[in-house]
Amino acid sequence: MSKPYDTRGRAEILAADHFAPFRDTPGLDKIGTRELRTLDRFFRFAEGQGITVPGVTDFLSFVAADTSTRRLDDLRTAFDRLLSEGTPVREVVREAIRQKRPRSRSCDRRDREALRADPLMAPYRDLAAFGTVALEDLRVLARFLGFAETHGITVPSEADYLAFAADTASSRRLRSLKAALDALLPGNPAVHVVLAGAIDRKSPPKPRARDRSQGRPPPGGSTRPNCPKPGASSFSTCASAPCRCTKPPRRPRSSTAWRTSCANTPMCSAGRGRRWRSPSGACGASRPPAPRTPLPAKIQPTKRRATGPRRGTRP
């Protein structure tokens, strides 16, 4: 292993001289063993570098070989429990974490007055709508002005707007920029035409609307291309006119009510089983019942004559 694992206990760690000023601090008992080992390691690093008041660069040098912010997170937890609120080192370690953590987007934490004092915002700071624009939209506008100055853009084109939002997949940044410019410069054609076109190109395609003219297929139904359309004489003449048919419910083979429901046709023979139609050609008709042949007279059932009550029964 390239890094030795620290197996020391709390008592051995706290016996070091750099923990002497904190041994009577109530929050020392709330620090976990892992955070305590990281804090001890940072104290040894600071002693070796001659650091008395650590800055952001000192914390970043301490974790220069790390790819994550885990050790800085341990130091933040240890300092939060060891030091009182408002101690500068607590904010310093948080800033080091923000700079260490890889992010594709920069975080602008400036307030409205700081944005007003930005030299790039000079054409907009005295406008009446500057105080009513959302703060996040103003930050996006300031970021775009810095992007335009870096790339030497004076009249932004649609490609320039797309390059400004190239590191994100959505059009939210461009929409925030448009909201700010609409409030500050209402009626500007560069906003309503060029920026709007960039937003349309950046926005993901909308889902295609379903054609409602054909209606929804019936429950359990499927589209079968070999069903004739109304008025067709055979299946060969309407191969390109699909219809929607419903598979009939499973019934015993002896049933004479084997029905089908087809959206377009009087008869459909696709799929398993048979589909019936009435003599008039109505769709969904049931199978005609078999003709009933009268029984011979000698085996005709006789009606029982009404007689009095049986013997031995109560009236």
Per-residue model confidence as pLDDT tens digits over 59-114: 999 998 888 899 999 999 999 998 888 889 999 999 899 888 765 455 777 889 99
Instruction: Look up the pTM and report it.
Output: 0.40
Residues 116, 95 share a domain: no
Residues 165, 83 share a domain: no
Range of the domain at 165: 112-202
Question: Which residues of the chain carry a pLDDT beneath 70?
Answer: 1-3, 102-106, 206-315
Domain-ending residue, one of 51, 74, 100:
100
pLDDT at site 253: 52
* Structural domains in the chain (count): 2
Give the 3-state secondary structure of residue 73. helix
pLDDT at site 40: 92
Among 128, 51, 58, residue whose Cα is nearest residue 96? 58
pLDDT at site 26: 84
The arrangement of strands across the sheet holding 261-262 comes to 221-224, 243-246, 261-262
Domain-ending residue, one of 145, 174, 202:
202
